[in-house]
Amino acid sequence: MDVQKRYFSRELLIWYRANRRDLPWRRHSNPYYTWVSEIMLQQTRVETVKPYFERFISKFPTVEALADAPEEEVLKAWEGLGYYSRARNLQTAAKEVKTQYGGQVPDDKAKVSALKGIGPYTSGAIMSIAFNRPEPAVDGNVMRVLSRYFRLHDDIAKPATRAHMEHLAQELIPEGCASDFNQALMELGALVCTPKSPACLLCPVMEHCAGRLAGEELVLPVKTKAKPPKPELRYAALIEGTGEHAGKVLVRQRPATGLLAKMWELPHLLVPKQAGLFGMNEAEAMDVLRGGLLAEGIDAVPTARWVDAEHTFSHIHWQMRVFRCELRELMELKDKERTVYQWTGLEEMEHLAFPNLFLRMLKDYFQ
């Protein structure tokens, strides 16, 4: 192995051992903790994950506790984190680990990889961090670091590039130090070799960083851009209860698959784009909403605009206009057309999982 590689592995390990962050999932060595943290850390920052991880582990301290929990509780514990299929896959996998492996995460790459929600990165992370096995764990941080240090111009959005990086990353693991080294690589990407303004002067491997020496630290890694999200206009209804439902709001549960699966929301409809409806006036908009609600068995009259809200997913941009509505009549709502409706106040919300968009609107309404 050449000097540049040896130097990298040695210096990075030394740096990490002096600079590793004290994180909740690093306080004890427990494969279940490693697993939960790695799933939460997919697409999510450390600072965001910390409080979720603490709450999640106190609610579900073991694989078995997670396997045996009601699904709604798991989803509720994930509320606000996003990518909710992660939570459902994690529980599915926990049931598998409970029944097939006696509740112990197996020290076996093939078995770990076969679990729901665990792909090449996460299996590598679990095998290396929890069991100190010399497996690569190549995430976005690692690809950025390696692209820069070795001055690789391959597009990191391409699967073939990831395969190359995995080979390189495995080669770099110092004998017997897979756990620390893989964490060191990711730690460097998170703290020093950051996407926007890398702190090269603080970097333990700056001297042999080919990207930096070529003055290319800001153009690396090369990555094709994602398509912009598709805009969607939606009209939503804030239907306030009366009588026995006074002080509550009508909410519904989303279908079991697809976007925001099984999460709760305000009733709303997608405004068809054809008729140039983006420029619809208020009265027309309320008419459209009234018709949409009626079609679901809700006889409610929109009375006034309440708030506008925007929310961007990776591929869709929601522009939502919320109207206050007066309820005239409610048909049999429970399980109607397989859609579950419920009146909710702050108390009921404790048990229903909402995406952040609606969570914020409802908290705002109730406070």
Partner DNA sequence: AAGCCGGGGCT
Partner DNA sequence: AGCCCAGGCTT
| Residues taking part in catalysis | 38
Nearer to DNA, 236 or 298 (CB): 236
Q: Which of 155, 140, 117 is nearest to 43 (CA)?
A: 140
Instruction: Please state the closest distance from residue 307 (CB atom) to DNA, in A.
Output: 14
The beta strands (E) that lie in the chain are given as 230-239, 249-253, 264-265, 268-270, 298-312, 316-330, 341-344
Q: Which is nearer to DNA, 82 or 241 (CB)?
A: 82
Least distance to DNA from the beta carbon of 125, Å? 8
CB of 112 to DNA, least distance (A): 10
- DSSP at 20: -
Least separation in angstroms between residue 291's CB and DNA is 25
Torsion of CA 125, 126, 130, 134, to 10 degrees: -60
CB of 229 to DNA, least distance (A): 9
How far is CA 12 from each of CA 23, 145, 190, 305, 327, rounded to the nearest angstrom?
19, 11, 13, 56, 64
Minimum distance of DNA from residue 42's CB (angstroms): 4
Q: List the structure tokens of 102.
A: 């006696």
Nearer to DNA, 31 or 117 (CB): 117
CA-angle at 260, arms to 46 and 309, nearest 5°: 85
CB of 166 to DNA, least distance (A): 11
Q: Which lies closer to DNA via its Cβ, residue 4 or residue 44? A: 44
Task: Specify whether the CB–CB gap between 176 and 133 falls below 8 A.
Answer: no
Cβ-based nearer residue to DNA, 4 or 42: 42
The tokens describing 19, both together, are 């600079």
Contact set with DNA (CB under 7 A): 42-45, 47-48, 80-85, 89, 116-123, 139-141, 143-144, 158-160, 189, 195-197, 223, 225-228, 257-261, 311-315, 355-357
DSSP string for residues in 189-239? HHHTS-SSS--GGG-TTGGG-HHHHTT-TTTPSP-PPPPPPEEEEEEEEEE
Is the omega angle on the peptide bond into residue 231 within 30 degrees of 0, that is, cis? no
Q: Which is nearer to DNA, 10 or 158 (CB)?
A: 158
CA nearest 193: which of 204, 183, 208, 178? Answer: 204
CA-to-CA dists, residue 239 to 283, 326, 329, 334, 366, angstroms: 18, 6, 11, 16, 13
Contact 263, 254 (CB under 8 A): yes
Cβ closest to DNA, residue 48 vs residue 342: 48
| Three-state DSSP string of 287-301 | HHHHHHHHHCCEEEE
